[in-house]
Amino acid sequence: MSRRSERQRAIRQLVRTQQIHTQNEIVRNLGELGFDCTQTTISRDIADMGLLKSDRDFYQLPEDKKLSQLVSNMVKTVECAKNIIVVHTYPGSAPAVAGAIDAAALDHVLGTIAGDDTIFILA
């Protein structure tokens, strides 16, 4: 794996686990992880990765923003029981929401099964 790919993977993890507001925060965090890079390099990475700023002004992955929008528009309720999550959606919405969850490749999600209006998530 190239150094660039490793760096972008680290950026992806940072953006998913922290609220990063500036490119300099990314440079600083990557430095702590052993990556020696400049703000200019990070600016290019952000453009390549298609990172977006959220409504609260922190960086977000495009698939996470899509997931957030789908959840706010299509999900009715969420119930948890140990490592199983049951999501109730409006009729016909479950496949789209499950697809967005799968595309987001969340570390703690092992998989999803969607019906018409219900999703089972194994975490």
Does residue 39 sit in the same domain as residue 55?
yes
Does residue 77 sit in the same domain as residue 105?
yes
Q: Is the pLDDT of residue 104 over 80?
A: no
Does residue 23 sit in the same domain as residue 56?
yes
Q: Is the pLDDT of residue 49 over 80?
A: yes
Does residue 113 sit in the same domain as residue 69?
yes
Alpha-helical (H) ranges within the chain are 3-17, 23-32, 39-49, 62-74, 94-104
Taking the C-alpha atoms of residue 18 and residue 105, their distance in angstroms, rounded to an integer, is 17
Mean pLDDT on 2-26? 91
Q: Is the pLDDT of residue 10 over 80?
A: yes
Question: Would you tell me how many other CB atoms lie within 10 Å of the CB of residue 106?
Answer: 15
Does residue 33 sit in the same domain as residue 15?
yes
Tell which of 60, 83, 100 closes a domain: 60
Number of folded domains that form the chain = 2
Specify the pLDDT at position 65.
65
Tell which of 60, 84, 102 closes a domain: 60
Banded pLDDT at 64 (limits 50, 70, 90): low
Instruction: Provide the residue range defining the domain that includes 90.
Output: 63-122
Q: What is the CATH number of the domain that holds 15?
A: 1.10.10.10
Indicate the average pLDDT of the chain. 88
Specify the pLDDT at position 66.
67
Specify the pLDDT at position 83.
94
Mean pLDDT on 77-104? 91
Does residue 74 sit in the same domain as residue 101?
yes
Q: Is the pLDDT of residue 1 over 80?
A: no
Specify the pLDDT at position 99.
86
